[in-house]
Amino acid sequence: MAGVQRTPPRSQNINLTQTQSEPDINSASERNDYVTSRYKRPRPEYSPRGQNDIQDLFDTWKRDQDNRITKILEDQTTLISKLFTDISEIKAQNIKIQESNAEISKTNAEIERSMSFMNQKFEDLRKEVEELKKERQ
């Protein structure tokens, strides 16, 4: 294995300054029938052709987006205004309910005092009736 050479020896007849390719590639491809060339796909009719077309397309898109955003903002503003009005009405109703509850609580307290008073008087009358019954007997 020590005597095996890994690389082939240099040949003396190859000139390294010359290449073996065709200098005019375009003419070479026309001459060769077995080589096919690819062509770019044609642009559709609606495709923009130049910088002005692209700018016009962008401006149109921007105007459409601005109109959509403006419509959405108007809808949201209307909705928020309605929600604000509804919440204000609910708060007013809540205040009225709280006032009504305070009046009802006050009335209930008066009724409880009256009931206590009437219960006390009833107990007094009952005791008096019992005493009268005992005196009669």
Quickly state the pLDDT bin for 44 (edges 50, 70, 90): confident
For 118, list phi and psi in degrees, rounded to 5: -65, -40
Q: Are 46 and 40 in contact (CB under 8 A)?
A: no
Q: Where are the domains of the chain?
A: 49-136
One-letter amino acid of 4: V
Helix (H, G, I), strand (E, B) or coil at 75: helix
The model scores a pTM over 0.75 = no
For 55-73, give one letter per residue: b (16+ CB within 10 A) or e.
eeeeeeeeeeeeeeeeeee
Average pLDDT over residues 62-83: 97
Average pLDDT over residues 96-117: 95
Residue 113 has pLDDT above 70, yes or no: yes
Token output for 24: 């005019």
Residue 62 has pLDDT above 60, yes or no: yes
